[in-house]
Amino acid sequence: MLPLVIAHRGASGYRPEHTLASYRLAIALGADYVEPDLVSTRDGVLVARHENEIGGTTDVAARPEYADRLTTKVVDGRILTGWFVEDFTLAELKTLRAVERVPELRPRNTRYDGRYDVPTFDEILALVAEESHRLGRPIGVYPETKHPSYFADQGLALEEPLLDALARHEMAGPDAPVFLQSFEAGNLRWLRARTALPLVQLVSADGRVDRVTATGLRRVASYADAVGVAKDLVLPRDPRTGALAEATPLVADAHAVGLDVHVWTLRDEHDSIEETQAFLDAGVDGLFTDHPDTTLEACRLHASSVLVRAAR
Ligand code: G3P
Ligand code: CA
């Protein structure tokens, strides 16, 4: 079976991330799922941003009317200075415009700076429903709760608004094309008790890697359906040459306890077609990508080469 192709922050290799334009392009390029990272406004509305500090992905720093919102906070143990989404109402946030996060890497995308607003989760779900209907194929959503404990401490817990929004858009049933993801286990356990939607435990290469040992994976399988892991945890790179090394036991260990494995994040700037295909050979079930068209083509080429090999 072909792995899921998950458009990471939309088609973020081609448009400023987490904009409706980025999600729309990802769908047009054939992605199976679009991935919004979710944070909350001061008035409790879920919006798509990779983090709650919005200085790097909007034009807020150039807006004199919000100069007094510049502040320093501690978020999940990190000291950050900037502008924070939870200090803006939705109406205020809607006056801002998205900009390319990495202009030095993706200068072509800067032509779209200033053209798109910050979408709400509701707007994303409406877009997905509209495009699913128009194209006659189910397009999935793969939302991530960002900093869930931090937002709960602010009185802006993300989980109930998330489930409410999915229910409003008839995406809450067990067969809906939805995965819910988090780096934190606490809110995944909370969600487990309240939804049958598949849950994904995220693990970064410098984070809770104890969760992807054979023992850790068994524990994760008690509340989640998949792990979403940094790709180096499946195929490490040789630190000297940068070449992909042998696959770790992670995929086999996860499959042994019934967990799917999705890896993040493939990028044209970093991953060749062959490297993408190495993840397919390693048996992963889903690929997060900034460039859904490249990743889909790598999957198609891989599937046809497997067929050719089988026919020999
Ligand atoms: O959610 C999978 C992957 O996106 C996690 O990393 O930092 O890009 O949200 P991040
Ligand atoms: Ca994410």
Does the structure show a pLDDT above 80 at 308? no
Assigned domain for 75 exists:
no
Task: Tell me how far CA of residue 239 lies from CA of 2, 232, 234, 244, in angstroms.
Answer: 30, 11, 15, 9
pLDDT band with cut points at 50, 70 and 90 for residue 75? very high
Mean pLDDT of 56-65: 98
Residue 292 to residue 275: CA distance in whole angstroms: 15
| Most distant CA atoms of the chain, gap in Å | 68
pLDDT in tens, 224-255: 999 999 999 999 999 899 999 999 999 999 99
Q: What is the pLDDT of residue 174?
A: 87
Assigned domain for 27 exists:
yes
Q: Which of 121, 192, 200, 202 is closest to 162 using CA atoms?
A: 121
Whether residue 33 has its Cβ less than 6 Å from ligand 1: no
Does the structure show a pLDDT above 90 at 101? yes
Please identify, by atom number, the ligand 1 atom nearest to the C-alpha of residue 200: 1
Residue nearest to atom 7 of ligand 1 (CA): 50
Q: Which residues of 15-40 are buried (b: 16+ CB within 10 A; e: fewer)?
A: bbbbbbbbbbbbbebbbbbbbbbbbb
Assigned domain for 147 exists:
yes
Mean pLDDT of 54-77: 98
Please identify every residue whose CB atom is under 5 Å from ligand 2, which is an ion.
Answer: 37, 144
What is the pLDDT of the chain when averaged over all its residues?
97
Assigned domain for 97 exists:
no
pLDDT band with cut points at 50, 70 and 90 for residue 312? confident
Q: What is the pLDDT of residue 311?
A: 77
Amino acid at 138: P
Assigned domain for 104 exists:
no
Q: Would you call 260 helix, strand, or coil by DSSP?
A: strand
pLDDT band with cut points at 50, 70 and 90 for residue 287? very high
Query: Using omega within 30 degrees of 0 as the cis cutoff, is the peptide bond preceding 265 cis?
Result: yes
pLDDT band with cut points at 50, 70 and 90 for residue 63? very high
Assigned domain for 214 exists:
yes
Assigned domain for 302 exists:
yes
Does the structure show a pLDDT above 90 at 115? yes
Assigned domain for 67 exists:
no
Which secondary-structure segment (H or E) carries 151? helix 148-153
Q: Give the pair of three-digit tokens for residue 163.
A: 């489930």
Residue 262 to residue 228: CA distance in whole angstroms: 5
Among the residue ranges 24-28, 136-140, 237-241, 247-251, the one predicted with the least confidence is 237-241
Residue nearest to atom 10 of ligand 1 (CA): 50
Segments forming the whole domain that contains residue 130: 4-49+119-311
How many domains does the chain fold into?
1
Does the structure show a pLDDT above 90 at 292? yes
Ligand 2 geometric centre to CA of 133 (Å): 26
Name the pTM for this structure: 0.97
Q: Which residues of 214-239 are buried (b: 16+ CB within 10 A; e: fewer)?
A: eebbeebbeebbbbbbbbebbbeeee
pLDDT band with cut points at 50, 70 and 90 for residue 310? confident
pLDDT band with cut points at 50, 70 and 90 for residue 72? very high
Whether residue 288 has its Cβ less than 6 Å from ligand 1: yes
Mean pLDDT of 162-170: 98
Q: What is the pLDDT of residue 298?
A: 97
CATH number at residue 132: 3.20.20.190
Whether residue 37 has its Cβ less than 6 Å from ligand 1: yes
- Is the distance from CB of 233 to CB of 209 less than 8 angstroms? yes
